[in-house]
Every structure is written in structure tokens, then in C-alpha cells.
A and B are shown apart, each in its own frame.
Chain A
């Protein structure tokens, strides 16, 4: 029996990578089915592992679909994925329930979406944060998928410039949940913004933690220690990228007893999490709600087009949030400079590089 223990421990440790496995998909029957609705158009959405209550990414996408369903006068169906093994089954179950358009949230669902789209040419798919181009030929892999992409580097660039100007210590920090392109695009843009500030002002503001990842998107002690280690380096602005890990950063800031400002990612943290208000300098907005709503709306009106959408500062798919409580703490001249930078990026005068815009 002692072998059993050891075996179990080995299996348990090996299974850590799949810690979320073994659970049935959480399927909501709460949202009524399409029959009762005034329209028989059925929009559906499947989350990635974060779930629809992640205060970022999945939640915003969900709100977009919800808004579109409301204005189309129809109901929606939603399925949450608990682990990667759920993706296939969840998407298939939505197809089986007769969904007209299926929104898949996150680049982790890319392969599943492409496969399902090719098998069901009558269903329309909208994938968020991925080009659905798994053979890398520059084309979407199925004619019935509309990819929604966000060049958040542009907004992060502005946040980086703002942070560099705001920082008293000459050090700003960032860290991510995992090394996904959708995460690093924030960090890269942020770094470029700081570099630009240094170039313009002749300063040498440092970015700490550029290759710092917590290995997951849980707000836990690992994320908190990561944030603490970065704060210990003397940063006074920190940008955590990856859903709820900002909560760990908040706890680390409180424990440090220092004056460290937080930059939110995806949604305006000041609004979505009121407990963070005293700390939020600004947020890098990725307006998934708006673009998802528009795409679903178009599908409902029969004008679905598979052309990839790329959110930029120009089309307001990405942006930075108002300063809220920090309005008084930031030099108005700096705010004006950020505004001017924004115009330069919109006009194409200033290029921010990212994987979406070489």
C-alpha cells in the first residue's frame, strides 16, 4: 500500500498541469432556450477556462453577446469550459442545439473552432483573440469564421508612456499570467511606450519583469509573490496582465506599504472592481464587448462577414481608460502628451510593433 501513496502522489503531481481536469462542463440552463424568444436566431458563446465571471476577457465577450441578443430580441446560450478537454464537447453541444452563431473566447479554442467550422459550414463562428489561422498561411482556416483581434500594444504603449512619466522611482514593472501572445502584446507595447518616453525625455526609466510569468491565471500566492518580487525592485507602477492576477498584485501592494499604482488590463478596473479604485492609475482597454456585440448583431441581421476585425486605437477597439482618482496626481502636461501620442498612432505617424502590426 505504501506504493499506492507514492503512485498517487506521482500521478497527482504529474496531473498538476491538468489540475482542472475531470469535471463536467458547467452548462447553464438558466438562460432560456431560443424557442421562447421572439426571434429564432440563436447566438451562443463558449468561454475558455476563465469562466464568464473573470472580470475581464470572458466576461466582456459575454456582455457583448448579451447586448446583441437583447437588441435582436432573442435569447442566448452559454457554456463555460473548465479545462481544455471541455472545448470540443462544449462547441459541439452548441452546434447540436442549433446555434446560428457561436462565439468562442480565446486563442486556446482556435483548433476546436476551426475543426467545428469546417464540419458545420452553415454555422457562423466568431473567435476572439485569435486569427484562426493554424496553418499560418495568412488566411482564416475556414470561410465561416470571423476572427476578432485586438492590437492592445497600441493602448499599452500609451499606458507605458504615462507610467514612465508618472513614476518617481524611475522603475515600472509588469508581469503576465502565461506567455501567450495575447498577454505579451500588452507587455511589449508597454515597454515600447516606456522606451519612447526615455527617448523623448532623455530619461532612463526601467521596466522590471518583462519575462516574468506566474504560470497561470489564478489570483494566488504565486502571483502575489511574483508581484512582491517586482515591487521589491523599487517600482512604483505595476501592470499585471492576465485576468484575476491583478488581485494578487493589489494584495502585494498593500503588504508592501508603499505607494504603488496599478494599471489594469482588458476592462476598466476602476469600474469592474471598485475595491481597487484607490490604486488604479489607468487601464488598458480591450473593448471586446463592443466588437463582439457588433459582430453578433451583424450575424443576426444576416450580414455576417468573415473579414478579420483588428481592434486599434483608430477604430476604438482598444483604448486607455480615464485616470479617475489619479487625475489630480498626474501632471496635466503628461496627459496632453499621451493624448498627442494617441493621435500620432491613429494617424500612422507613430508605429507600435506587435504580432498584429509588424
Chain B
């Protein structure tokens, strides 16, 4: 996993609440067996018409938000399906982080496994950033994971909460599986006490 320390980039506003993972990456693209290449399908049904032509007016396609690497959206971002493809699509499109006042649990979990940051701010702070990203041209934001801080060049500054261990893994790009396997002795001891039930080996006919 790539470490995440500090990132500065253009902010793009998606002013909708309850953006579900079916919108982030529609189901027709989940049949791929790779982890890469999902960015072209991000928000597909909002960005493209049924013929595959670019629809007019979707915010990420406005010239002023080209190259944006931070997304800001309404509350309960990433709700619904557990598909990690949603995070893969956002990251592959070029985003490093998304800001919202709340995230669905599974989406937030999936983000951390991909070096992608789900930044939770208060509703008022998120609304302020949404406003600035619309009113200022080339609105740049810095997300500083070492200080757990979001800031801009015009004096905006806000702290965000994050689990200390998750932060540690993100800062250092640590592989979760490797960390758990450091506890091999404890896992083996647990398994010795809790063997696989007989019925799992020999089900009824």
C-alpha cells in the first residue's frame, strides 16, 4: 500500500447526500477480475448517457475541476454495497481522498486498505469547503495526515478524527495482513482451543 502523509490538490464538489456505491461504480463493471482500470467507469450513469457518450453538466467533467484529486460530498458517502471497486474507481480516477461529514462503515474500511483517505469533518466545515470549491477558481486544499488537519491558503483549518492505528498504517503504508500474521502464535493458540467443528468436515449426506 502507498503511504499517505500529506496531499495537496484541487477540490471538486459533489453536492449530493447518501452517494451510494452503486452510483460510484455501477454493477455492470463489477464483472472484471482485476483491481485496476475502474476509473473510466466512475459515476458512470451520471457521467455518460446510455450510448456511452459524455452527458453534459456532471461536475467532475467541468473544465475547472479537471485534475481534481480531492472530492467533497454530502453526508453518508459510500453507503450500500460493500464493493471495494468503489474505492478502486475513485483512486484510479485520480482521487487520493474524499471529504464528507459521514461515511458508511464498509466504505471507510475499504478506503484505509487502499491508501485512500476518507476525511470526516463537521457538517459546517464540509459545507464551507463545498462553498469555497465552487466560488474560488482552482481551489487547492491540503490534507495533512500527520497533523490530522485540512487547510487551505485562505485561512481555513480544521482537524479530523481518525483511529490511531489506521492512521499509523496509512502513514507508513503498512500491509494489514502482515501485521495480523505477527500474531501467528496467538491465532494458532486460539485455533487449538477452537477446532473446526466435526460437522464442517463431514456433513450429513
Partners in one complex: no
